[in-house]
Amino acid sequence: MEYSKNYTVKEEHIDVQGIMDGLYYPFYMEHCRHDFIREQLGFDFEEQAKNGVYMVLSQYKINFLRSLKKGDEFSVTCSVFTDKDNLPRLHFKQSIILNGKVMTKAIFTGTCVPASGGRPYLPADLQDKFADAPKLDVEV
């Protein structure tokens, strides 16, 4: 299940070289990923936090292939994968695409933890949402 959202590079995200600062690529990916998690997986971050469940990132790997410029209209994709070792974590493959070309690609890995502390886990109702998701076949 691939999800996609469209964005436009904001002027304040442009550096002195006239390209988007590298710090903003993960932010656009985060916006898309959070919408995907809320809309497709039914996990509302604010509601879950009130219930003592935090979804957190444990790592990410990002590859910058091409630069975005001010005003570029691009899309961000997001797909969910389960862990090949059956650990309680989700992997989100994401890309930033401009005019059919991949500009940036990344894998974000996350899990849930109890707000009170404790071991990582994935809530049962969340697990049901990605039961048919493929396992991630690459090292993160």
pTM as predicted: 0.94
Distance between CA 50 and CA 138 in Å, rounded? Answer: 34
As a whole number of angstroms, the distance between CA 108 and CA 58 comes to: 8
Domain 2-128 falls in which CATH fold? Thiol Ester Dehydrase; Chain A (3.10.129)
pLDDT at 138: 78
pLDDT, tens digit only, all 140 positions of the chain: 689 999 999 999 999 999 999 999 999 999 999 999 999 999 999 999 999 999 999 999 999 999 999 999 999 999 999 999 999 999 999 999 999 999 999 999 999 999 999 999 999 989 998 888 999 987 76
**How far apart are alpha carbons 60 and 44 in whole angstroms?**
21
Q: Which two tokens stand for residue 45?
A: 């971050």
